Structure 1
Amino acid sequence: MHLGTRPREILSTAGAVSGVRLTNGQSIDADLIVFAIGIAARDELASAAAIEVAPRGGIVVDEECRSSDPRVWAIGEVAHVLGRCVGLVAPANAMAEVVADRLLGGDATFTSIDDATKLKLAGVEVASFGDAMGTTPGALEVVYADPARGMYQKVVVSDDARTLLGGVFVGDAAPYLTLRPLLGRELGSEPAAYLSASGAEPAGADELPDDALLCSCNNVTVGAVRSAVHGVDGAEPCHTVPELKACTRAGLQCGSCVPLIKKTLEQELAKSGLTVSHALCEHFGHSRQELFELIRTLGITSWDETIARFGTGRGCDICKPAVASILASQRGGYILDGDLGGLQDTNDRALANMQRDGTYSVVPRIPGGEISPEKLAVIARVATEFGLYTKITGGQRIDLFGARLDQLPDIWAQLVEAGFESGQAYGKALRNVKSCVGSTWCRFGVQDSVGMAIQLELRYRGLRAPHKFKFGVSGCARECAEARGKDVGVIATEAGWNLYVGGNGGFQPAHAQLLASDLDDDTLIRYIDRFLMYYIRTADRLQRTARWIEELDGGLDRVRSVVVDDALGIGAELEAAMARHVENYEDEWAATLRDPERLKRFRSFVNAPADAAPGIPRVIERGQARPATAAELSAGVPDGRVLLAGARIPVRGGEDD
Structure 2
Amino acid sequence: MTRTLVVAGHGMAGHRLVEEMLARDAGRQWRIVVLGEEPRPAYDRVALSSLLDGATPDDLALAGPDVLGDRRLRLILGTTVTGVDRRDRTVTCGDGTQVGYDALVLATGSRPFVPPVPGHDLPGCFVYRTVEDVAAIRAAARPGRDAVVVGGGLLGLEAANGLRLLGMRPHVVEMAPWLMAQQIDEGGGRVLAGAVERLGVGVRCSTALHAVGAGADGRAERVELADGTVLDAALVVFAAGVRPRDELAGPLGLERGERGGFLVDEWCRTADEHVWAIGECAAVAGRCHGLAAPGFRMAETVARQLLGVAKAGDAFAGADTSAKLKLLGVEVAGFGDAHARSQGAIEYVRDDRRAGTYAKVVLAADGRTVLGGVLAGDTRAYPVLRALTGRRLTASPDELLSPASPAA
Task: Give your verdict on TM over 0.5.
Answer: no
TM range (shorter): 0.3 to 0.5
Taking structure 1 as the reference length, the TM-score comes to 0.26
Larger Rg computed on CA atoms: 1
Higher helix share: 1
Higher strand share: 2
Taking structure 2 as the reference length, the TM-score comes to 0.41
